[in-house]
A and B are shown apart, each in its own frame.
Chain A
Amino acid sequence: MTHTHKQILVVLPHPDDEAFGASGSLAIHVYNGAKVTYACLTLGQMGRNMGVPPFANRVTLPAIRLEELKASCKAIGIEDLRLLGFHDKMIEFEEPQLLDGKISELIQELRPSLIITFYPGYSVHPDHDATGAAVVRVVAAMPKEERPIVQCMAFAKNTVEDIGRPDTIVDVRGFLKNKIDSIRAHRSQFQAPELMGKNKLSDKELEDRFGMERFWTYRFND
């Protein structure tokens, strides 16, 4: 990553969306002097993981996930967390003016040179796709020369087939501690054995599994 950014805006719908795909890269940006603002659209209040055995319930989950998110931000070095107050699972149904308006306000305020979000249509969860689509709509409406770079995470099965390989691959092995701490911070979500593995992973296994992060730079039509 030769480009250094002063201000980065992360726009994601769920607390924990940053952990696997972007926390290492963000930690690198922070290390390089960037100020990172994380706009998290929801509190993940519809999440189904509640710990095993469950230590959260539908009522307590949002507050628990907010604390997890704060801990994750701390692990990454993000000091500016904005909660946009939307409801989990409902992003795709929101009035576009409301959604776009909030994102647009943040861009006007912060003037980021880089936005990190999900690639619309290739991010599996409807909230992910709808969030990425809103970011793309807002940035596309800006004058071409004022637009920040938009880097997207994507993980749908047909991603590479449809939109090609990621153009930005970040080696985050030097910041693996930040990344693992970010993942572990979300303890209600990621203690499920299928995600973290039953056995403690060796350093090598951790590097193989979490050492690289991939982004697709969104290409606007004009």
Chain B
Amino acid sequence: MELINKSDIQARIDALRNQDLYIHLEMTNGAYAAHFDSNKHPASIVITNTKVRFGHGAISGEGPYRIGLKMELGWIYTEGLTHYEEQDTERLIMAGHDGQGKLVVALQLSKQPF
């Protein structure tokens, strides 16, 4: 994974518009969150291999980055993205890693299921 290049990501988002894609969207603050800090409220989400289609999308912020994808009736939103897989030109694989390198958030789009 490389640090996000904002204009490269925007170009890849634009190239994925208006077609059926599989999404993997994930966020977690870690299963041990409450174990290490009793004030933390452990929470996480995963949606994987669900079909989506967006007509417009944008990356925003100065890093960590935010992405919003506008679908016909709704939105996909992710905050906290730091890294992407530059070599993978078929799929758009992005993630947000915290100071310890742990994955906090992931947003992945692909024409084929993951």
What is the interface of chain A, defined by CB distance below 8 A to chain B? 87, 89-90, 92-95, 126
* A interface majority secondary structure: loop
The closest CB in chain A to the CB of B68 belongs to A93
Q: Which of A89, A94, A95 contacts B77 (CB 8 A)?
A: A89
Chain B residues bordering chain A, tally (CB within 8 A): 13
Is the pair A92, B56 in contact by a Cβ cutoff of 8 Å? no
Nearest-neighbor residue (CB-CB) of B56 within chain A:
A95
Chain A min CB distance to B15 (Å): 17
Q: Is B70 an interface residue (CB 8 A)?
A: yes
Partner of B75, one of A87, A95, A126: A87
Contact between chains at B60 and A90 (CB < 8 Å): no
Q: List 27 A-B contacts (CB under 8 A).
A: A87-B74, A87-B75, A89-B68, A89-B75, A89-B77, A90-B68, A90-B70, A90-B75, A90-B77, A92-B60, A92-B66, A92-B68, A93-B56, A93-B57, A93-B58, A93-B60, A93-B67, A93-B68, A93-B69, A93-B70, A93-B75, A93-B77, A94-B70, A95-B70, A126-B60, A126-B61, A126-B66
State A55–B12 Cα separation when bound (angstroms).
41
- Whole-angstrom distance from the CB of A132 to the nearest CB of chain B? 14
Other A-B pairs, 20, CB within 8 Å; known A90-B70, A126-B61: A87-B74, A87-B75, A89-B68, A89-B75, A89-B77, A90-B68, A90-B75, A90-B77, A92-B58, A92-B60, A92-B66, A92-B68, A93-B57, A93-B60, A93-B66, A93-B69, A93-B70, A94-B70, A95-B56, A126-B60
